[in-house]
Structure 1
Amino acid sequence: MTTDEPTGAPTDGTGDEPPAAVPWRGGFGRLWSAAVLSSFGDALRTAALPLLAVTLTDRPLLVASVTACGYLPWIVFGLLGGAVADRVDQRRAMWTVDALRGVLMAGFAVAVAVDRASILLLIALAFALTTLQTLFDNASTALLPALVDREALGSANARLMTGQRLAGGLLAGPVVPVLIAVSAAAPFAANALTFLAAAALVASLRTAPPRREPRPGGSTLRAEIAAGLRTLGRDRALRGLCAATALCNVGMGALIATLVLLVTDWLDAGTAGYAAATVAYTVGSLAGGVLNGWVSGRLGRMRSVLLAGAAQIAALVVMGSVRSLAALVVSLAVFGFMGMVWNVNTTTAMQRRSPAEMLGRVSSAFRTLAVAGAPLGALLGGGAVTVLGPSTPALLAAAFFALSLAALIPVLKADASGADAVDVPDDNRTTAHVPSGSIRLGPAAGQGTRAGQKERRRKTG
């Protein structure tokens, strides 16, 4: 896809070349540690907030509003966060956001400790934290290609997502009851500390600030957001991946919102069964992160996504038709494994196909359009349970996943033909180049030589 590619490498931008090693020392290790810390703290807060909410109000709509505010800012501010991420130093944006989130959580912990918390304060906090997250996540996606070699992006994304799932899915769970036993404010205070520690780690990264070309006169955030949407829409592979992910998220919203009813009502497995189901999903996700490189190395990135979608359809059909807790546990483990394969490969494809100077905007457009399906799916799932019973949402999710495979057909065609609809010069076409040459990751910058790798690590860590 670029003139810097080594001879024989794929030129479609999807990147099926063998994964390169990811060095833990330097910038990536600090970014990974910050991401894992933040995920651990987020899991503590996510588990503690509903428990606190039900002590503050007995109105289900208000309790549900706390969760809804975890989606709403992405729909309202997601595109804006991506445009801002492309304008600023991503490293500085990330540590500033984490510092602000740490201060907000510390203040909320104090309010809980002195018994001044209210349900409206919880709703406002959830909205504010997710609004800040729209900038943080888009900046993080845009920063990663500056910290690792282009061939290592898939491995780096897998390690990031696996570490986050391990910290948030397994390690945080047993800690929450202990902290709540100490004090109702303890989980929120711990979350504040993780935010501040993550901010310090990101601030310690020694990446050169991006030197971007001056924006044209009269350029506005609205015009830049529109340019990001056009770039996503012109790339056949990214457009198909985005549509497929959005359809999957409709199904995921239906499944997640009603999984507790599937386990406790249809299977009559109680809270222990629900715990077993969620642990199975987490363990499957961790295995998917560890083995993703093996899967994508043998099948290629796009075919791995197709396999993941097909396997998840089969797992969903089993969940909705086989009345057995053991079958559900196995199905959720497979579902989690393949979900991680899907997430790692779609994120890596987006990073590699997007123009580097627009990665924040393309990422935000992708995320916003994809996330928008989840609330719709939750409503559809609730309606399906009411009308047809608690096993129906899993089958409904399977139908949406099947539609997502149809949306992947253009992706596979682009993968096979090497077509790329992004109309930019060759040397700016992928994230192999950081804007204005702050850290050049292509082979022409020494990526393929030991001296070039040492020079890049010297600049980033």
Structure 2
Amino acid sequence: MSPALSKLSAVLPDLAPWRASRDFRLLWVQGLVTFFSSAMAMIALPLQIKELTNSPLAVGAMGAVELVPLVVFGLYGGALADAVDRRRVILWTEAGLGTLALVLLVNAMLPEPMLWPLYVVAAGVSALAGLQRPALDSLFARIVPHEHQTAAAALNSLRWQMGAIAGPSIAGLVVAFAGHAPAYAVTACGFAVSVLMCRRLSPAPPAHDAEKPSLRGIAEGARYAWSRPVLLGTYAVDLAAMFFAFPNAIFPFLADELDADWSLGLMYAAGSVGSLLLGLTSGWTSKVRRHGLLVAGGATAWGLAIAAAGWFGNVWLVLLCLAFAGAGDMLSGLGRSTIWNQTIPEELRGRLAGIEVLSYSVGPQLGQVRAGVMAGWTGTRTAVWTGGVACVASVGLLCLTLPKLLTYDSETDEDSLRRRARQREAAAGETLAEAAGEARAAATGEAPAGAAGETRTQPAGEARAEAADTA
């Protein structure tokens, strides 16, 4: 490889997880479809509430409505992910989300759309997302090898940003020229496609000695998280950053104040553009060992950029700042995901994923409420820039309080080394089982599975899934 190509490959995203796992490829494409289609509703829903009420508080209240279901079902979903087949959880919750999109579609087609169904659907989406995300996040930790976790986190973020850019950008145009109903229709169709793809995933059964979901199991996961300062730091930093500096709920009012109604979709998409650009140049992150620095540094950059977005009165500078904020958020999220997947034991992965859902989802919901209330009291731009300043201050305080977050090293951390050893033991066990099966087949004169002209190797679970699809 030439020096130029070598330098380019070091910058571009690492595709090793994509090559290593069929299930990762399926989940990646499924997620892209889901993120694109759900982003349409993400734009249409708050905009519809704004049109019906013309109140920033009413739009911000959507976060309050979503909060309780997210907390309750997020914690229960974590315990559920450790107790049942994670594939089934993902499949049924995707179907439920598609059904709720149909409810939004029917309401939007009424001569006079009603307000209360929008809040009911928002609460339902929050509950189903709380059930699903622990199963989804913990499944990635199972299907991706330990050494590829950082690359997988970068690819997952890249996938999300691609959908989040296209969805809001197109949704803004669709709603402006065709109304809310077509946006909700695209969302429903996207979930239908997602359900079909989820059916192709390999089964992901729990451990044979897994306990049924219970309060005791949830408490066990919480105790583990509390005993690990590094994990606690990742949760706290993200929660603080999102609570103080998540202004999405008041973007419709910011666009009005800047006399740029046309920019609403771009405001929602700008952060994803920044994240996408960072994701496309994320190859270097595979070599990073101090992931806690990524968490804190990215959150600080997010806060600074949000503060600048509120300070400037030019719409193009605002969009540029939001793009920088998205890059910072992507960097912080990459560090969080890597730490979680490198250190948390498999038997606790679902329950800890439930806590993760709270850390990165409750913050934005509370942030929407904070932004709406502050905008009503002080004005839209003031609510934005003061939130960014508070974000930077809170991240700095948390780093002083939890210094182990900044010193985390994946090559020396005990939990990371323990997790890596367990994954290697599991892989060695699968290799021995396959060798034993081939030996038995040779002794009985039968051809080993896949020998009839098949030369590529494939994990047993993936082979079973493809066989089921064929049947």
Q: Same fold (TM over 0.5)?
A: yes
Percent identity between matched residues is: 22
Deviation by residue 1:8-55 (Cα, 9 ceiling, x = unmatched):
xxxxxxxxxx96702357211211121111111211112222343355
Within-5 A mapping of 1:2-13: none
Q: 1:190 to 1:376 in 2, by over 3 A?
A: closer
Equivalent in the alignment of 1:143: 139
How big is the alpha-carbon RMSD for the aligned residues of Structure 1 and Structure 2?
Answer: 3.6
Task: For 1:316 and 1:405, locate their aligned partners in 2 and report how far apart those are by CA, in whole Å.
Answer: 20
Which amino acid in structure 2 is aligned with residue 143 of structure 1? L
Q: 1:234 to 1:299 in 2, by over 3 A?
A: closer
Q: Is the 8 A contact 2:307 2:386 kept in 1?
A: no
Match of residue 273, structure 2, among 275, 283, 302: 283
Match of residue 16, structure 2, among 17, 21, 25: 21
Question: Higher Cα Rg: structure 1 or 2?
Answer: 2
Paired residue total: 427
Deviation by residue 1:156-210 (Cα, 9 ceiling, x = unmatched):
2222222222112224522553377556432222212211211111111123533
Deviation by residue 1:278-328 (Cα, 9 ceiling, x = unmatched):
443221110122223313525642333333234335434544556655544
Q: 1:85 to 1:430 in 2, by over 3 A?
A: farther
Match of residue 401, structure 1, among 395, 404, 417: 395
Q: Once structures 1 and 2 are overlaid, which stretch shifts more, 395-404 or 97-106?
A: 395-404
Which amino acid in structure 2 is aligned with residue 42 of structure 1? S
Equivalent in the alignment of 1:304: 294
Q: Once structures 1 and 2 are overlaid, which stretch shifts more, 170-179 or 338-347?
A: 170-179
Task: For 1:460 and 1:433, locate their aligned partners in 2 and report how far apart those are by CA, in whole Å.
Answer: 22
2:194 paired with 1:198: yes
TM-score, normalised on structure 1?
A: 0.79
Match of residue 42, structure 1, among 30, 38, 41: 38
Q: 1:206 to 1:381 in 2, by over 3 A?
A: closer
Match of residue 227, structure 1, among 197, 220, 233: 220
Offset of 1:350 from its aligned partner? 0.8
Equivalent in the alignment of 1:455: 459
Which amino acid in structure 2 is aligned with residue 403 of structure 1? L
Q: 1:116 to 1:34 in 2, by over 3 A?
A: farther
Which amino acid in structure 1 is aligned with residue 386 of structure 2? T
Equivalent in the alignment of 1:169: 165
Equivalent in the alignment of 2:340: 350
TM-score, normalised on structure 2?
A: 0.78
Q: Which protein has greater RCO, CA pairs closer than 8 Å, 6+ apart? A: 1
Offset of 1:271 from its aligned partner? 3.1
Equivalent in the alignment of 2:3: none
2:340 paired with 1:336: no
Equivalent in the alignment of 2:285: 295
User: Any unmatched runs of 5+ in structure 1?
Assistant: 1-17
Offset of 1:421 from its aligned partner? 6.9
Match of residue 132, structure 1, among 125, 128, 133: 128
Task: For 1:82 and 1:327, locate their aligned partners in 2 and report how far apart those are by CA, in whole Å.
Answer: 40
Task: For 1:375 and 1:191, locate their aligned partners in 2 and report how far apart those are by CA, in whole Å.
Answer: 21
Which amino acid in structure 2 is aligned with residue 21 of structure 1? A
Deviation by residue 1:76-101 (Cα, 9 ceiling, x = unmatched):
32211111121110001101111122
Task: For 1:257 and 1:323, locate their aligned partners in 2 and report how far apart those are by CA, in whole Å.
Answer: 18
Q: Is the 8 A contact 1:206 1:459 kept in 2?
A: yes
Task: For 1:318 and 1:110, locate their aligned partners in 2 and report how far apart those are by CA, in whole Å.
Answer: 40
Which amino acid in structure 2 is aligned with residue 164 of structure 1? W
Task: For 1:59 and 1:280, locate their aligned partners in 2 and report how far apart those are by CA, in whole Å.
Answer: 24
Q: Is the 8 A contact 2:71 2:130 kept in 1?
A: no
Offset of 1:109 from its aligned partner? 2.4
Which amino acid in structure 1 is aligned with residue 17 of structure 2? V
SS in 1 for 2:144: coil
Equivalent in the alignment of 1:109: 105
Task: For 1:214 and 1:67, locate their aligned partners in 2 and report how far apart those are by CA, in whole Å.
Answer: 34
Offset of 1:221 from its aligned partner? 0.9
Deviation by residue 1:228-271 (Cα, 9 ceiling, x = unmatched):
10111112211121122121122223x44455666654xx4633
Offset of 1:151 from its aligned partner? 1.7
Q: Once structures 1 and 2 are overlaid, which stretch shifts more, 71-80 or 86-95?
A: 71-80
Comparing both structures, which one devotes a greater share of its residues to helix? Answer: 2
Match of residue 68, structure 2, among 66, 72, 75: 72
Offset of 1:356 from its aligned partner? 0.8
Equivalent in the alignment of 1:6: none
Offset of 1:227 from its aligned partner? 0.6
Deviation by residue 1:320-372 (Cα, 9 ceiling, x = unmatched):
55665554444322221121111122012112211112111101113214543
Q: 1:111 to 1:248 in 2, by over 3 A?
A: closer
Q: 1:57 to 1:310 in 2, by over 3 A?
A: closer
